[in-house]
Structure 1
Amino acid sequence: MTSELITARVEDSVNRIRQIFEANDFHHLPVVDNGSVLVGMISREDINKVVQLLAFDSKNAKHGPMRAKDIMSKSPLLLDPDDTIGLAADVFMTNKFHALPVVEDNALVGLVTTHDLLSYCFSSPL
């Protein structure tokens, strides 16, 4: 689990979110409210699609300025810090997700990715 997270705020602009992805080597960005309560997730694929869409409408005439809250996946599936690796693997396989936020007492405390899971599985001797 990654516990030192970079997050977006619900009012962050699409441009700001794009900059976050460009500056970092990750594929999923949790979106939090004014505290640390998780309200959604944005993937690199999500932001790339939105940027392409906005390229056709550079003045944002139809859409207005888009924010994180407009493009995020709302109510993502969550893990609890005490959930097992097996549960995380099952959720990944069943839903074809690649990242799951870890929430404790309504606060975002980490993110588990398929990369984390594979690293764990192959770091111990077979």
Structure 2
Amino acid sequence: MKKREKIENVMTKDVQTVNITNSLKEANDLFNKHHIRHIPVVSGDKLIGIISQTDILRISFGNTFGNDQEGSDDAIFEMLSINQVMKHSPETVSPEDTIKSAAEIFTKREFHALPVVKDEKLVGIITTTDIIKYFVDLY
């Protein structure tokens, strides 16, 4: 096992993103279509926030009443914006940082994804799942 394995070797490079002009419904559709749980929010190439599937679930009725409440969720999605729900200025890592450094952040914090930024440009995302897959592949 390489002790200094870089994040760029395990991060997701083809990242789904939204911007603050997208709707929450569009973000929710991306979560469902791509089976992902975190979406960076960008302005051009610059990261301005991150929204998680958990953020969407907190404001929706889907978890409470099952999937029959889609119309109610749509109404909530229209009342709120991505800007109101997202985490602003999220913690980030660099592609040159180590997998160990990302893992240490995840063990100390209450989130499971870190946008990867180089020269103020979003270049990827690393999640706890990426790190687990890395270790599974090693063993």
The TM-score with structure 2 as length reference comes to: 0.78
Query: Match for residue 29 of structure 1?
Result: 39
* Cα RMSD for the two superposed structures: 2.2
Q: Per chain length, whose mean CA-contact separation is higher, i.e. which structure has more relative contact order (CA < 8 Å, sep 6+)? A: 2
Contact 2:18/2:39 (<8 A) preserved: yes
Letter in 1 for 2:72: A
Question: Structure 1 segments of 4 or more deviating over 4 A?
Answer: none
Letter in 2 for 1:4: D
The TM-score with structure 1 as length reference comes to: 0.86
Where does structure 1 lack aligned partners over 5 or more consecutive residues?
A: none
The Cα offsets for residues 5-57 of structure 1, whole Å up to 9 and x where unpaired, read as: 11011111111111111211111011101x11111111101012223399389
Query: Match for residue 100 of structure 2?
Result: 86
Identity level (%): 35
The Cα offsets for residues 54-106 of structure 1, whole Å up to 9 and x where unpaired, read as: 93894x6xx97322111100111100111011110110000032111000011
Give the direction of change, closer, same or farther, for the CA distance of 1:56–1:9 in structure 2 (3 Å limit): closer
Give the direction of change, closer, same or farther, for the CA distance of 1:4–1:56 in structure 2 (3 Å limit): closer
Give the direction of change, closer, same or farther, for the CA distance of 1:52–1:123 in structure 2 (3 Å limit): same
Letter in 2 for 1:42: I
Q: 1:12-91 counterparts in 2 under 5 A?
A: 12-33=22-43, 35-52=44-61, 55=72, 58=75, 65-91=79-105
CA drift of 1:124 comes to 1.8
